[in-house]
Amino acid sequence: MTLRFGTDGVRGVANVELTPELVLALGRAAGRVLARLDAPFLIGRDTRLSGPLLEAALSAGLAAEGVAVRLLGVVPTPGVAWLSAADAVPAAMISASHNPFPDNGVKFFAVGGRKLTDEVEERLEAELDRLVAGGGKGERHTGAAVGTVAGSSGAEPYADALVASLEGRRLDGLHVVVDCANGAAHELAAEVLARVGAKVDVLFDHPDGTNINEGCGSTHPEPLQEAVVERRADVGLAFDGDADRVLAVDHRGAVVDGDQIIAVCALDRRQRGLLVGDTVAVTVMTNMGFRQAMEEAGIAVHETPVGDRYVLEALEERGWVLGGEQSGHVIFRDLATTGDGILTALQLLDAVARSGRSLAELSSVMTRLPQVLRNVRVADRAGLEGAEPFWAEVRSVQAELGERGRVLVRPSGTEPLVRVMVEALTNEQAEQAVARLCEAVATALGTANP
C-alpha cells in the first residue's frame, strides 16, 4: 500500500493507513524530490497523539537521505508555511486539519512556503512507489553525510509577523472569545490577539492528544456561539485543528462563515484601494449570496475548483490578493502564501474595529441562500459523466430553480461518492431538489455499501 496526494497532502488513519513505515519512505522520497542538502527541512505538527510518532518517521526518512531536519514542534500550518517562505527552505506539516484525532496527515511546502504543484506531487508519488516496492534505493548516506535532527521553536517570529500585519493598528476595546479546537493554535492565537489589545477569553486550549476538534473548533461552533452570547463578547473565533482556517461568530451568536468573512474583507480592502483588480477568487462551493453581494458592490468574482490550492493558483497567476473558501480558508496573498486562520481573524477584527460597526452589521452585506449538500455512495463513480438520464434530471431541477438557485454535482476525488449541492430561495426547496437528485444519481450509478 502506498500513499496518494489529495487536495491537501496525504491523510489516513494513523498507524493503519498512515503507518510509520510508509511515512519513513515518504520522508526519503521528499529528501530526494524536495530537499536541499545545503538547507534544513522544517517539520511542524499539531497536537494529535500520533504526531510525535509520524514526526520521528518523517525525520528519519529525510535524515537517511542526508537532509538536516529542524523540528518546530506544535505550530499552526500557516506558521510552517511562513517560516518556509522566510528562510527559503522546504517544509512539512503533520496534521489532518479538521479531521477526528485518529486521523493524521502530511502536507508539504516547497521552498518559499508554496503548496506543491501537481507535477511535483506526481514525482513524489513515483519515488515513494519505487521505495516501497524495494527499488530506487540509490546511494546510502553514511558517516558525516547522514542528516541531523534538531529542535527549535518557530512560533515567535511567526507571531511577530502576524502582529505586524496590522501595521501598528490595534484592537483595543474588542472583546473576543477564541475556540482553539485543542489544536495547534491553543497558545498562539490568544497571545497574538492580546498583543494587539483585544480582550481575549479562550475555550478548548488544553490539548491531551485525543481531544483535537472534539466537539469544538470550526466544525463544531455551538459551544463558541453560546459563550459569545453568555459573555456578551463582540466576536467569537473558531479555528480548526491546524489553524489554517477560521469561522467567526457575531455578538448575537450567529456563525459568520468563510464566504461572509471574504465579503467583509473584500469590501474593506476595496474601500482602502487594496483590492487588486477589484476581484476575489473563490471556489464553486461559494454561496450564491456572496456572488450577488459582490456584483452589487462592483467586485468581480473568479471561480475555481474546490481546494484552496486552486484559489491560490488563481491569485498568483492574475496578481489578485484575496480569495478563499466557505470553510474558512482565506488567503491574503500580499501577506501570506497559504490560508491562515489567525491572520484572517486579525484582518477581520481590524475591519470591525476601524468601521466602528458590529460584525453582524458588516457581514449582513451578503444574505446566504439556503444550501444543502449530500454525499451519495455509488458503485460506479467514473460513470457520472456519461449518465445522461441523471444529467437530464439536473437540467430539469436547474430550470425549476431558475436564476435564484443552482445545482452543483461533483464526484469525490478519493472516495466512491458523488456530492450533490443545491442552493434555493428556501431550505425546503433545496432539500426537495437534493432528494430528487440523490435518488437519480443512485439509480444511474448504483449504490455502494458504506
Q: Which residues are catalytically annotated?
A: 97
Taking the C-alpha atoms of residue 395 and residue 401, their distance in angstroms, rounded to an integer, is: 10
User: In the chain, what is the greatest distance between 2 CA atoms, to the nearest angstrom?
Assistant: 71
The CA-to-CA distance between both ends of the chain, in Å, stands at: 21
| C-alpha distances in Å from residue 191, one per residue of 89, 231, 246, 345 | 26, 20, 16, 13
28 with 65: CB under 8 angstroms? yes
Phi/psi of residue 445, nearest 5 degrees:
-110, -10
Q: How many helices (H) and strands (E) does the chain have?
A: 14, 19
95 with 240: CB under 8 angstroms? no
Q: Which residues pair with 107 in a beta bridge?
A: 93
Q: How many residues does the chain have?
A: 450
46 with 242: CB under 8 angstroms? yes
Neighbouring CB atoms inside 10 A of 140's CB total 10
Taking the C-alpha atoms of residue 352 and residue 330, their distance in angstroms, rounded to an integer, is: 17
Neighbouring CB atoms inside 10 A of 317's CB total 10
| C-alpha distances in Å from residue 379, one per residue of 204, 209, 385, 401, 436 | 40, 36, 14, 29, 18
DSSP state for residue 298 in the 8-state scheme: T
Taking the C-alpha atoms of residue 179 and residue 277, their distance in angstroms, rounded to an integer, is: 34
Taking the C-alpha atoms of residue 96 and residue 100, their distance in angstroms, rounded to an integer, is: 8
| Secondary-structure percent of the chain, ordered helix, strand, coil, rounded to 5 | 40, 20, 40
Strands (E), 122-275: 149-151, 175-179, 199-203, 235-239, 246-249, 255-256
Taking the C-alpha atoms of residue 281 and residue 135, their distance in angstroms, rounded to an integer, is: 42
Three-class DSSP category at 80: helix
DSSP state for residue 9 in the 8-state scheme: B
Angle among Cα 137, 143, 146 to the nearest 5 degrees reads: 55
Strands 246-249 and 235-239: antiparallel
Strands 235-239 and 175-179: parallel
